[in-house]
Amino acid sequence: MKKKIMSLLEQFSKTMVQPIMYVGVVGMIMIIGVLLTNQTLLGVLPFLQWGPIQLVGNLIYQAVMTIINNLGILFVVGLSAAFAKKEKHSAAVIGLLSYLVFLTANNVSLNTFKMIITPNEFTGLSGTGQAEVLGFQVLDMGVFSGIILGCVVGYIFNRTNHVQIKNPMFQMLSGVRFSFFVMIFVSLFMGWVAIWTWPYLQNGINGLTGVISRTNEFGLFLFGFLDRLLVPTGLHHLVYTPFLFTEVGGVQTINGQTYSGAYAIVMAELKDASLPFTDSIYYMMAMGFTKMFAYIGIGLAFIYTAFKQNRARTITLIVPLMITASVASITEPLDFLFVFVSPLLYLVHSILAGVFIVLLKLFGVTAMSGGLLNSVIMNVVLGVEKTNYPIYFLLGALQIVVYFVLFSFIIKKLNLKTPGREVDANAVQIIKPSSEVKKSQEAVSEGIDAENIVNGLGGKDNIIEVDNCFTRLRVSVKDVEQINDDLLNGYPNSGIVKKNNDIQIIYGLGVPEIRNAVQTYLENNK
């Protein structure tokens, strides 16, 4: 039973890689838009204010932010295709259409039962438990709506896409169209049932706000902890919004005017240099401190623990995401690289986030957080007396070190499959092409010899499933003894990895085209 559960978890982890691959690209492009539109950087480099540069920067930033704000689509389409054993393109289309049906059902159900919430004039739907997705006002389920639906689509697609209906009147519902037919009703049901189940989670989080506001340092720990832990679910909005915009985050009278909520209070205290920051500042700091420093430590740990042969590409993947998190406070691209690979590691991350917010208060730090560039300049301008920023940056450096050391230890100790560690070199057989084979590979034309690859894998009858990750063709085979290394080495690769009946061939970033060629060959030679 344990072996079966671990196998399912490993399969889910490998499948999650498919949509997450694109998140890395998003992060790389995002940093360009962030740097071109950052107000602090514009003050230092005035030439960036030139109209065409700003147009390009805003186009990049807004376009990529649309992806960040709609990651549910990425996961539902990506997981639907990744779980499908054949006709992955059809599964992806069904995943997208099912998501639209799900959103519509959720929106219509909320309206029908008078549960729809009117957006606030200033804060919109933030903190209400609802959000706008693709123009639909629905329950705010973060990426979980896409993940859950993607898994359901993959499961149902694999069990229904072979169904053939002989009745001429309904024959058009055969095959993948039958899978879509089934998913319409499943998606409708899921959209409806969500309005009765998901709010229980939301109400539970809402109930914690009172505990946080009443328990001083423990409350701050809980605030920082939940702000990170709940990011994948979208429920973190319910934690921070009341503290930022309502009296839960404090009430202060400043120069004769009363302000409610940490955001309004801090903005008022910011305008008057003679006023010290009150404790409301800590709710603001919890939103940015960990984003600025922790993700540098996380990224360095991923790079350090990556297997040697994977380190170069790990650096290419991780560094832009570290910069995006630190400079732009956008952490989702890096979060989703490890939250599902190792929930334990993400739990440790959330605990550390809460601990460091408490340390900031214990050391009397009242600095501003909001992106590394902005934070450095703003706190220096405000001065040491108002912010105690030297301790702030010392604690930031300490957080980087703590994250790096602790993450590196846990990753190695538990042999976690974080970026760059997709295969354990000590647990598998790795066959690298010899120098003579490499010379012969260099003479191979650019055309993909799918037939040779299939024969090298023991033939089409020996192949159970074909997939790929960032750089590797992943194949499940019936009999590993039928693998012919010489045939596989007939097409350029950097090594063949064998672990039980799982075969991985390291082709590099062009592996999606190779996978498509192999799958096309298999489909055409049934």
The pLDDT of residue 441:
44
* Segments of the chain assigned to CATH 3.30.1360.60: 429-524
Residue 151 bears catalytic tag: no
**Count of CA atoms in the C-beta half-sphere (13 A) of 58:** 9
Q: What dihedral do alpha carbons 354, 74, 511, 312 form, nearest 10°? A: -30
Q: Of 469, 487, 517, 522, which residue is the catalytic one?
A: 469
Question: Do residues 350 and 229 touch, judged by C-beta distance below 8 A?
Answer: yes
The pLDDT of residue 12:
64
CA angle, residues 516, 480, 414, in degrees to nearest 5? 85
Tens place of pLDDT per residue across the chain (526 aa): 555 555 555 566 666 666 766 766 776 677 788 778 877 677 778 888 898 989 998 898 888 888 877 888 988 998 898 888 888 889 999 999 999 999 999 999 999 999 999 988 777 887 788 989 999 999 988 888 898 999 999 999 999 998 888 888 888 888 899 999 999 999 999 999 999 999 988 888 777 887 888 888 898 999 999 989 888 777 777 787 778 777 777 788 877 777 777 877 887 787 776 778 888 888 877 778 999 999 999 999 999 999 888 888 888 888 888 888 888 788 887 888 888 778 899 999 999 999 999 999 999 998 888 778 778 888 887 888 888 999 999 999 999 999 999 999 999 999 888 888 865 544 455 555 555 444 444 444 456 778 889 998 998 888 888 887 767 888 888 888 888 888 888 888 878 888 778 888 888 767 878 888 888 888 888 7
Q: Which residues lie closer than 8 Å to 356 by C-beta, 6 or more apart?
A: 224, 289, 290, 294, 395, 399
Within 10 angstroms of residue 389's Cβ, the number of other Cβ atoms is 21
516's enclosing H/E stretch is helix 511-524
Within 10 angstroms of residue 2's Cβ, the number of other Cβ atoms is 6
How far, in Å, CA of 482 to CA of 455, rounded? Answer: 9
E runs forming strands in 158-279:
251-254, 257-260
The pLDDT of residue 63:
86
CA angle, residues 20, 75, 21, in degrees to nearest 5? 15
223's enclosing H/E stretch is helix 216-229
Question: Do residues 290 and 351 touch, judged by C-beta distance below 8 A?
Answer: no
Side chain identity, residue 233:
T
- DSSP codes, 366-414: ----SSHHHHHHHHHHH-HHHH-HHHHHHHHHHHHHHHHHHHHHHHHHH
Question: Do residues 430 and 496 touch, judged by C-beta distance below 8 A?
Answer: yes
What Rg do the C-alpha atoms of the chain give, in angstroms? 26
Helices 88-112, 144-160: inter-axial angle, 10-degree rounding: 130
CATH code for the structural domain at 429-524: 3.30.1360.60
Q: Are strands 472-477 and 463-468 parallel, antiparallel or unpaired?
A: antiparallel
How far, in Å, CA of 221 to CA of 232, rounded? Answer: 19
Within 10 angstroms of residue 393's Cβ, the number of other Cβ atoms is 17
